[in-house]
Structure 1
Amino acid sequence: MRLSTVTVLLALASGSLGAGIRPQQIKNLVTFGDSYTSVDWSANGGTPWPVYAAGYAGVNLYPYAKAGATCSNNLTYRPFPPLSESQVPAYLAEKANGTVKGSSQDTVYTLWIGTNDLGANALLTGNPGSKASLSQVTDCMVNWVNTLYQSGARNFIFQNMIPLETTPIYAATSWTGRYWTAQRNTTEWSVFMRELVLSGNELTKLKLRNLAPRLRGANIALFDSHSLFADMYANPKSYLNGTAPTNITGAVDTCVYELNADTPSSCVVVQGNDRDSYLWYDELHPSEQASRIVAREISRVVSGKSSRWATWL
């Protein structure tokens, strides 16, 4: 009996019991991030995952993610609307004027960012306008939770970075494609990207675990996008359901460039139901079928159900 009591107390102390979102609690989904989450420019050639997720969960969608975004242009500059200086201020302004509906209890906020912070023309290759360290970038990511908490938000889903070294652009077997046409050592890129992603994900996890106890009343889920995509890569037949053989190394929309060329030498676009056999849409972005898998799992969290890939901190 004593052992059983101690076990229960330890579970309660760890937050593993009674944490998270209740069924039918959430009415609104607010999304932030980059092209992986953007709905005004679809990176998968079809329907973005937030649209699917909102439909699956039966909630209202308020999308703020923008293609090309980084966490902060003060850290890793790109000429696109960043999370900190554009997306969050836009949300706060629309919350203040009543455009965004919902309360702190019936709204959940998601963030999926980092691909552009770590990638080409940023931490991977360097950039004259980018002077940040990985530590600073992960601070920025985690600070998103604290900023929204101060505005009244209480329910969060933090989506970590996928294994970018498996995407066509960063794989050791990559080709010269639309997102990088200069000379590069593909093996070096792939190894370095793997280390950046693994280190970045570990840093955000530790920083979120440190932040969570200080945010009274907050529910923070860490959604392990990395493990989900690693599983899709390792077991594609469990996820990809198109009419062609499963493909984890190519892409639905593929273009090949000569070195330093401005236009492609050749392009191939997969058509019809064969598209759902691919993990990647193009050299950088997940396919629509992969997006449906993300949407399915996120919608489970939003609906107060368990997901293999989500942990409440």
Structure 2
Amino acid sequence: MSKTYKLILCHTFLLVCTTTLLFPVSAKVPAVIVFGDSSVDTGNNNGIKTLLKSDFAPYGRDFEGGRPTGRFCNGRVPSDFISEYFGLKKTVPAYLDPNYGISDFATGVVFASAGTGYDNTTAAVLNVMPFWKEVELYKEYQQRLQAYVGEQKANEIITKSVYLVSIGTNDFLENYYLLPTTRTKFTVQQFQDHLVQAAREFVETMYTLGARKISLSGILPMGCLPLERTINFMAMQECNEEYNNVALEFNGKMEKLVKQLNGEFLGLRVVLSNPYYIIKKMIRHPSLYGIEVTDEACCGTGLFEMSYLCGIDSSLSCPDADKYMFWDSFHPTEKANQIISEHLFKTLLYKFVH
């Protein structure tokens, strides 16, 4: 056997091993089931009466077919990428999307609603689906799944699936820092504790419903969102470090919660998918990721637009979203979502395969 042939075999073997690590066999994780807000909503808000929608151009312009789906992005969101990394489908459908049925949902489904939060008041701000309603829809899903594949198979899917939860930023930016009534009721530390308790109650409920693999989310550096930079006049539109510090503090409390939950519930595996540091690194060193603009968004002027404001004049949007960290003033681009998702999968979520 020649050296060249041996070298080819060696490279092929390494490629197969690497690919298997990043995209493992899907049978080990039968489905990805998603809860949360606009960071992972794939179209549920299309079907409810709210002003917070994204089922119009320029949203979805880089999605397959160039169509807006209700994702708050130019393309795919983290729930899509993570599903693919688990060896499942490349896009995860929204539960309220009439174009999909239980046969589609059996391998992955999204209950997330853009604009929602752990606190019920957060959902009320923009009249979106409260977090408890997502859980109620999941219970309905379980019944439909049992009717579709049988009780035994349904229970296997429910137990072995990975449950992704991405939520919390709206609780601070749309609720605590926006509503005087909330700040009158809580100090920021008390509000953090209130949200952590809501996260605990969610996990406890999901555990009783059969979930065993749960990924809770940390909060991104919310003070660096383009909208928060725009209104941070006193600091010359730099990141609002007060908000970032609150995010760090909250994430620390969530880490403690995860440790507690893993010690209290038999067979439960909870992880904290914390995007804070990878996003902060991307903002500080964008060239490492092929990104050029981090302080402004792609759509509109890049300073404050989101949802319908992005749709007023699509021609204002940047020509190449891949050069931008943020798609609108609140949400990352598809490229940023992919980088963040791959990082979280390689460093943490891959453990759910074993």
TM above 0.5:
yes
1:126 to 174, 179, 204: 179
Task: Name the residue aligned to 1:295.
Answer: 341
Which residue is 2:217 aligned to?
159
Helix, strand or coil at the partner of 1:289: helix
Aligned partners of 2:302, 2:83: CA distance in 1, in Å? 35
Determine helix, strand or coil for the equivalent of 1:125. Answer: coil
Residue 50 (1) aligns with residue 79 (2): yes
Mark the CA change 1:296 to 1:77 in structure 2 (over 3 Å): closer, same or farther: same
Does the aligned pair in 1 maintain the 2:163–2:215 contact within 8 Å? Answer: yes
1:181-260 counterparts in 2 under 5 A?
A: 190-240=240-290, 246-255=292-301
**In the TM superposition, what is the alpha-carbon distance from 1:226 to its structure 2 partner?**
0.7
Correspondence 1:276 to 2:322:
yes
Check conservation: 1:169, 1:175, Cα contact below 8 A.
yes
The answer to whether the 8 Å contact 1:254/1:283 transfers is no
1:223 and 1:204 map into 2 onto residues whose CA distance is 10
Residues 156 and 220 of structure 1 are in contact (CA less than 8 Å); yes or no, is this contact kept in structure 2? yes
**Matches of 2:134 and 2:30 in 1, distance apart?**
21
Q: For residues 86 and 205 of structure 1, do their structure 2 counterparts lie closer, same or farther at Cα, with a shift above 3 Å needed?
A: same
Tell me if structure 2 keeps the 8 A contact 1:71–1:137.
yes
Question: Aligned partner of 2:321: which letter?
Answer: R
AA aligned opposite 2:130: P
Structure 2 partner of 1:106: 160
Q: 1:26-73 CA deviation, whole Å, 9 max, x = no partner? A: 121011110011111211122222122222322232111111111131
Instruction: Provide the aligned C-alpha RMSD in A.
Output: 3.2
Change (3 A) 1:212 1:304: closer
Which residue does 1:17 correspond to in 2? none
* Partner of residue 19, structure 1: none
Count of aligned pairs between the two proteins: 265
Q: Secondary structure at the match of 2:128?
A: coil
User: How many angstroms apart in 1 are the aligned matches of 2:309 and 2:170?
Assistant: 22
CA deviation after TM superposition for structure 1 residue 74, in Å: 4.9
Q: 2:195 aligns with which of 121, 137, 158?
A: 137
Runs of 4+ in structure 1 over 4 Å off? 99-102, 127-132, 184-189, 262-267, 298-303
Structure 1 counterpart of 2:80, one-letter code: V
Q: Deviation digits for residues 244-292 of structure 1, max 9, x if unmatched?
A: xx1111111134799xxx9799883012xx2111111111111111111
| 8 Å contact kept, 1:112–1:158 | yes
- Structure 2 unaligned segments of length 5 or more: list them: 1-23, 44-69, 89-106, 149-153
Higher relative contact order (CA 8 A, sep 6+): 1
TM-score, length basis structure 1? 0.74
Match of 2:165, SS state, is strand
Q: CA deviation at 1:129?
A: 7.0
Partners of 1:43 and 1:76 in 2: CA distance: 17
Correspondence for 1:38: 41
Give, in whole Å, the separation in 2 of the partners of 1:294 and 1:188. Answer: 22
- Whether contact under 8 Å (1:104, 1:155) holds in the other structure is no
- Aligned residues of 2:176 and 2:182 also touching (Cα < 8 A): no
Question: CA offset at residue 227 of structure 1?
Answer: 1.2
Deviation by residue 1:1-24 (Cα, 9 ceiling, x = unmatched): xxxxxxxxxxxxxxxxxxxxxx64
Q: State the shift of 1:199 in Å.
A: 1.8
Alpha-carbon distance change, 296 to 38 in structure 1, aligned in 2, over 3 angstroms: same
Shift of 1:156: 1.0
* 8 Å Cα contact 1:70/1:77 also seen in 2: no
Structure-1 separation of matches of 2:73 and 2:328 = 8
Go from structure 1 to structure 2 and tell me whether the alpha carbon gap of 1:294 and 1:143 turns closer, same or farther (over 3 Å shift): farther
In 2: Cα distance, 1:29 partner to 1:270 partner: 32
TM-score, normalised with respect to structure 2:
0.66
| Higher helix fraction (1 or 2) | 2
Structure 1 residues 109-144: Cα deviation after superposition (integer angstroms, max 9, x where no partner): 011111110104x11132547855221122112322
Q: Letter of the aligned partner of 2:138 in structure 1?
A: Y
